[in-house]
Amino acid sequence: MAARPFRLLPALLASLWLATEALSQEAALGRSVDSLLELARGSNPEYAAAQAEATAAGERVVPAGALADPRLRVELRDITRSGEQNPTISPSRVGSTRYLLSQDLPWFGKRELRREIAEFEAEGAKNRASGTWAELAAKIKTAYAQRYYVQRNLQLMREILDLTRRLEKIAQARYSGGLAALADVIRAQVEQTGLQSELLVLEGESRQLDARINALLARPAAAPLAAPERLRALPAAANFDPATLEERLRARNPVLFAETSRVQAAERSRELVYRNRYPDVTVGAGPIQYQSAIREWELMVELNLPLQLSSRRSQEREAEATLAAARARKEATANQLLAELSENLVGIETARRTELLASTSLLPEAELTYRAALAGYETGKVDFATLLEAQRKIRQARQSEIKAQSEARIRLGEIERLLGDDL
């Protein structure tokens, strides 16, 4: 009996390790955009619904091109034997029993057209599912970049707040020594109050973004997310050639593919409607039973007569209009997507240049200006307002840099959405 707990020890250790591993993965969620995308692929209900719809559409292909089930017809004739007996449904006792096995046969080519229509509709549903994922991935990439900006801005604001507190101490020391006015201390305190107010706003934005991401991941709104560690590296500038990306968009965009499938399905539907000018055929065969003996066989051919010309012409005009609408919608979609691509290419180029300008010029110049202003204030050559303005310039330069970094990743996510693939 004493050895039993030792047998359970490996299982307990394994369970503990699995639980620890799960907790560590949960704690790491949010550090990178890849972790969010991986979870979203398996948990987002909208994407799951789109996938299920694509699967359902794919299952319609085979039935669409299949023949209808054959029909068996049984007719019991003279069930009273000319009044010689009570009514009966026994084939051996009625006057005669007619059996007919029939099969509907559509006009030549109709089955193939119905199958092709279902195939194009299934392809469209598959592309719409891919488009749903592209939209979802872009939303996550955007939210992650915004979270990165807010978190880095929070960090910056706390640093600036600490710096302002140090400036307040310097102002107080100079005021105590009779070298500065009380207004300098008050300005520093007012500046701190403003920074604290901005911190509250940023913290609220951070919680909103967390709730937005959790919604995309099908998690509770208040579920914890790790702070973002880094942004994705931007591809080389050569990868953003407009002509190349336009070609990739036309070849890979899932929304455009879905519209193309819609056009192809409308073309086949129009052709099918015109085939309705010709009749479908029903053939059948079966014996006629007299009491217990089969004495006769019969064959049957049945045609539907397409005589409702006005109704059929209306259906043909409807098919033509539906096809025209599908083609126009495809063209409009392509124009819209190309416009969005151009807009985002301009946006990412602007963001890259802004980041470069902020990091190489604005921020170094602001830091030099602040150091000069601080030295000048300590010697009484610069007033406190100038010092605070120099501090604000540092904050603005760093915010501009962080904002440009975030904006570039948002634009990259939008470009990848349009391409239907990562760059």
Q: Which of 333-347, 348-362, 365-379 has the lowest mean pLDDT?
A: 365-379
Q: Is residue 152 part of a domain?
A: yes
Helices (DSSP H) in 358-383: which residue ranges? Answer: 363-378
User: Phi then psi for 286, rounded to 5 degrees?
Assistant: 180, 165
Number of domains in the chain: 1
Q: Could you read off the pLDDT of 223-251 as tens digits, one per residue?
A: 888 888 888 888 888 889 899 999 999 98
Q: Is residue 333 part of a domain?
A: yes
The DSSP secondary structure of 266-306, one letter per residue, reads: HHHHHHHHHHTTS--EEEEEEEEEETTEEEEEEEEEEE---
Q: Is residue 193 part of a domain?
A: yes
Hunting for tokens 């310097």 — which residue is that?
Answer: 170
Q: Could you read off the pLDDT of 390-415 as tens digits, one per residue?
A: 888 999 999 999 999 999 999 999 99
Q: Is residue 137 scored above 90 in pLDDT?
A: yes
Hunting for tokens 């980041």 — which residue is that?
Answer: 355
Q: Is residue 75 part of a domain?
A: no
**Across residues 10-36, what is the average pLDDT?**
61
Which of 213, 159, 246, 173 lies closest to 35 in space, CA to CA? 213
The pLDDT, as a whole number, for residue 15 is: 53
Q: Is residue 3 part of a domain?
A: no
Residue 127's H or E segment, with its range, is: helix 110-176
Q: Is residue 229 part of a domain?
A: yes
Residue 103 bridge partners (DSSP)? 283
- Kindly report the number of other CB atoms within 10 A of residue 151's CB atom: 17
Query: Residue 386 belongs to what domain range?
Result: 29-67+106-419
User: Phi then psi for 417, rounded to 5 degrees?
Assistant: -65, -45
Q: Is residue 83 part of a domain?
A: no
pLDDT band at 21 (very low <50, low <70, confident <90, very high): very low
CATH code (residue 174): 1.20.1600.10
Q: Could you read off the pLDDT of 281-339 as tens digits, one per residue?
A: 999 999 988 888 888 899 999 888 877 778 889 988 999 999 999 999 999 999 999 99
- Kindly report the number of other CB atoms within 10 A of residue 84's CB atom: 8
**Across residues 269-282, what is the average pLDDT?**
90
